[in-house]
Amino acid sequence: MTQERSAGASWGTFLIILIAGIAYSISLMAIPTAMIYVADTFGGDMVGAGWLMSWNSVAGTILALFTATIQSKIGPKNMIIIALACILVSDVMVVMTTDITIAFVGRFIFGFANGLIATAGPTFVTILFSDPTKRGMPNAIWTMWIALGGVLINFLAPFLMTPGEGVNFLTGGPNLDWHPLFWFGIAFAAVALILVIVGVRIPKAEIMDAVAGSDNVRISDAFKNGYVWLCFVMVLCFAFSFSCYTSEIVAYLQTDVGMDPAAAQSWNGILNIIGIAAGLIIGFILNKVSDHTKVLVVIFVLTVAACLAAFAFNTVTLAICSMFFFGLAVNMVMPAIFTNVQWVSTSPAVIAAAFGICAIASNGGGIPAAPVMGAMIEAGCDWFMLGVPPAVVSAVGLACAIVFSLKLGKASREGIAAARTADGQN
């Protein structure tokens, strides 16, 4: 493959994989975008609606234990295809029922897509961009797959949702029909499936050679490394805190701040744009600093503060300011953790397994978030109090980041210095 073809073909294929990830994100974020209307459809139960947001993480967590082996057997392309099929089946089940049990089953199937795409996406980056120095931008863009889908569905929601039946149990205002959000998700996933089947043309032998070693990567080996445990806990803390906010932000803006549904959904979409900007900013910062671990500590400090401010205000201006703060701070966490994983060991196998463990934590950490928030709302807690659980959990992540920096700061500084010296010699 020529260099010109490599650049064009690699980015073209990467775009298709990114579209597949966005297909997952659209259906994922459809629930929080219309949370109060979904809850009304399924009996006015905010806890149950919260579990519809979190139940997919249960399946994703379970599957993440086996994705390295699955990838070594069928390859990342087939994983993406299966993931998109899971999205289609799940969305059809949810949109065609008013039985929350059937919806739970559908969202469990949906969770398999998370585990598959979250593993296959970074693998494609490695395959498509063989030069490690060229992976920074595609890796940064890949971390935005959830945010990009969230932006799309939140901006389209006011145009897709139509007047529904009855009065909403929580707001007392008219209901909106949330089903068109899922029909759009179904159409998007179908297009993505066709693009992957037709457009991803990497030779099978090349793909399987790249993942041949995955079968020898054991999650248990990485868990013997204490620094991997720190990464695991930090990702758990991030996932819980992020999911707490995203599951209730629209409901908060409508009920406590007093925004109309269209405005609340639009601002939720802007939150995702802020997340995209945060990913680019932290990518630039990480390329410039001499110690990645210190950046991680600073980001967790900001995250604790952002969680405390998340639901603290009932005026539009201050609520939007806190949203910007939260979006910038919290969306920098995962790129910073992923960048720091390389310092946990000199063994490529342990590092690869560590990424698998991070995928488990990313799914598992979000499981209790929406149910906890829903239970607090139903218990009549003040909205400000909803920021306390994510702030406390983020403080645990901060403690882990401090220990990580104290133990591995030297490795980070020496590794970055060596890489820059080598780059200067080329």
For the cut 50, the answer to whether the pLDDT of residue 425 exceeds it is no
Tokens representing 4?
């010109």
pLDDT of residue 2: 38
pTM equals 0.74
Domains of the chain: 1-215 (1.20.1250.20), 217-418 (1.20.1250.20)
For the cut 60, the answer to whether the pLDDT of residue 4 exceeds it is no
Q: Catalogue the long-range contacts made by 8-13 (C-beta closer than 8 Å, 24 or more residues apart).
A: 10/128, 10/129, 11/128, 11/138, 12/199, 13/124, 13/128, 13/199, 13/200, 13/201, 13/202
The more confident residue out of 142 and 272 is 142
For the cut 60, the answer to whether the pLDDT of residue 170 exceeds it is yes
Question: Range with the lowest mean pLDDT among 3-17, 204-218, 338-352?
Answer: 204-218
357 vs 220: CA distance, rounded Å: 9
Judge contact between 164 and 175, C-beta under 8 A: yes
Tell me the sheet residues that pair with 163.
176
For the cut 80, the answer to whether the pLDDT of residue 17 exceeds it is yes
Average pLDDT value for residue range 179-198: 97
Average pLDDT value for residue range 50-70: 80
User: Which of 58, 178, 39, 172 has the alpha carbon at shortest distance from 107?
Assistant: 58
326 vs 329: CA distance, rounded Å: 5
For the cut 80, the answer to whether the pLDDT of residue 274 exceeds it is yes
Assign 401 a pLDDT band (cuts: 50, 70, 90): very high
pLDDT of residue 348: 63
Pairing of strands 174-177, 162-167: antiparallel
Average pLDDT value for residue range 227-252: 92
Write down the mean pLDDT value for the chain. Answer: 86
pLDDT of residue 135: 63
The more confident residue out of 23 and 59 is 23
Percent of the chain whose predicted confidence (pLDDT) is above 70: 91
3 state SS of 11: helix
Judge contact between 27 and 91, C-beta under 8 A: yes
pLDDT of residue 5: 38
For the cut 80, the answer to whether the pLDDT of residue 374 exceeds it is yes
Residues 6+ apart with CB under 8 A from 200: 13, 16, 17, 77, 80
Q: How far apart are the first and last CA of the chain?
A: 22
What would you report as the CA-atom Rg of the chain, rounded to the nearest whole angstrom? 21
312 vs 391: CA distance, rounded Å: 12
Angle made by CA atoms 283, 288, 293, in degrees to the nearest 5: 75
Residue with tokens 């297009």: 191
Judge contact between 180 and 160, C-beta under 8 A: yes
Q: State the number of CA atoms in the 13 A half-sphere of 259 facing the CB.
A: 23
Average pLDDT value for residue range 402-414: 93
Average pLDDT value for residue range 235-260: 91
DSSP letter at 202 equals: -
pLDDT of residue 198: 96
Judge contact between 303 and 329, C-beta under 8 A: yes
